[in-house]
Amino acid sequence: MASSNHQKKGGKISPPAKPLSSKSPKSALKAFFNSAYAQNLKEQICEMGRRQWQREYVDANGGNMAIRVGEDLALCTPASVSKGFMKPEDMCLVDFEGNQIAGDKPRTSEILMHLAMMKRQPRAMATCHAHPPYATGFAIAGVVPPRRMIPEYEIYATVGIAPYHTPGQPEMSRLIAELVDEHNTILMTNHGVVSWSHLDIEDAYFKMEIIEAYCRTLLVTAQLGVPPKKIAPELVVELLKRKKTVHIPDPRYRWTHAELARPEWFPGRKEKI
């Protein structure tokens, strides 16, 4: 099982002593944007972009990421750049209304969605959006993957699904934000996936790997022609206890054993399992 306690790349460089906000002096915001701390975060975003492009989670200029860096400030990816080939100097600094404060390239057009998630979920330190094909397939079908199949998925992902709305518009941001209290990974119908982490951008990206690997594995299981085995509810409770200790939300914390045992839709089967 993977751990979220990965090495923090920003571990050696401290954030600004006094948290910044959009009302901080322009000179302080500029100094922050050019600081070693911000540079490190920009490099982390570039690295996550490379991983996503290599794994084919993003195509052309698709996908975007953001990191909370102040009371109402975020570093984010630029528009119209392949996520596989970004440079630290491409990154942008925005306030929580999406106004660009620093950066030469224009910020991503989907920033309002990331900001709406951060505003609604104060624990969201980083957000990641991509179009990984297997998970996006589930999002197009409009179905949340059935649970109780793989322990890692039970612990690290809590998946919800948001209805379609035109990308970049406030209504879409609202629909996504409504889900972030209890879900860290959201399937966007007819679009893709967006995730958030209370840790950092790598952890937000890990949610993308987890949902994509899970959806792909479920499709393999579906082709084998036998009913899948499911983890028993009492053992799911054990996993949920572990999930609480890593501070990931899940509406099932309140569920009874009978509710945890509820049959769910499974790919390729008419009856629920």
Positions touching Zn ion (CB under 5 A) are 192
- Distance, CA of 190 to CA of 61 (rounded, Å): 17
- Distance, CA of 232 to CA of 68 (rounded, Å): 38
75-111 burial by CB neighbour count: b if 16+ within 10 A, else e?
A: bbbbbebebbebeeebbbbbbbebeebbbebebbebb
CB of 167 to Zn ion, least distance (A): 6
Instruction: Say which residues have a Cβ less than 8 Å from residue 243's Cβ, sequence separation at least 6.
Output: 154, 155, 156, 250
Q: Please, which residue, 34 or 169, has the CB nearer to Zn ion?
A: 169
CB of 113 to Zn ion, least distance (A): 9
Q: Please, which residue, 24 or 185, has the CB nearer to Zn ion?
A: 185
57's tokens: 């989670």
Q: Please, which residue, 98 or 267, has the CB nearer to Zn ion?
A: 98
CB of 124 to Zn ion, least distance (A): 18
SS3 171: helix
CB of 186 to Zn ion, least distance (A): 12
Whether the Cβ atoms of residue 157 and residue 211 lie closer than 8 Å to each other: yes
Whether the Cβ atoms of residue 69 and residue 75 lie closer than 8 Å to each other: yes
CB of 168 to Zn ion, least distance (A): 9
Residue number closest to Zn ion, CB atom: 192
Q: Please, which residue, 170 or 268, has the CB nearer to Zn ion?
A: 170
Q: Please, which residue, 128 or 239, has the CB nearer to Zn ion?
A: 128
Give me the residue label for tokens 């612990």.
Answer: 155
